[in-house]
Amino acid sequence: MNSQFKSASANAYMRFLQLAKAVQELPDGPQLDANEKALLEEIALSWFENRVMTVREAIGLSHLGSPATLHKRITRLRQKDLLKTFNQPEDKRAKYLIPTDQTIAMFRDFGKKMSSAISSPA
């Protein structure tokens, strides 16, 4: 083991990264590239924190790509039934993004698999 990762917190985070990678590589579930996954996670995390993200906010996530590229990713995620949009009755201009039931089930499944992996010996 690399001596730089001998601290308990660094070791725990590296173990988390191993588990997350293993769970993401499981064959069941929608196939997402790293960029789609990152965008979906940003949108889902915002939703989880009770801050529903608009399409405008999502395409403004410049650390994830250009607005045109992000718009294409949103479209692909909607086609894969991982995101849906809705409008507020008082403002029809803004479209909000929320995870679908399929996305929530996928994250629930990832959580169960991660919990199982954590409880099994390394």
Give 22-41 pLDDT, tens digit per residue: 766 666 666 788 899 899 99
Q: Where are the beta strands (DSSP E) in the chain?
A: 53-54, 83-88, 91-99
Per-residue pLDDT of 34-92, as tens digits, reads 899 899 999 999 999 999 999 999 999 999 999 999 999 999 999 999 999 998 888 78
Residue 110's pLDDT is what? Answer: 78
Query: What is the C-alpha to C-alpha distance for residues 32 and 17, in angstroms, rounded to an integer?
Result: 17
Q: How confident is the model at residue 1 (pLDDT cuts 50, 70, 90)?
A: very low
CATH 3.40.50.620 matches 8-119: no
- pTM for the full predicted model: 0.75
Token pair of 96 as six digits: 């909000």
Query: What is the C-alpha to C-alpha distance for residues 59 and 24, in angstroms, rounded to an integer?
Result: 24
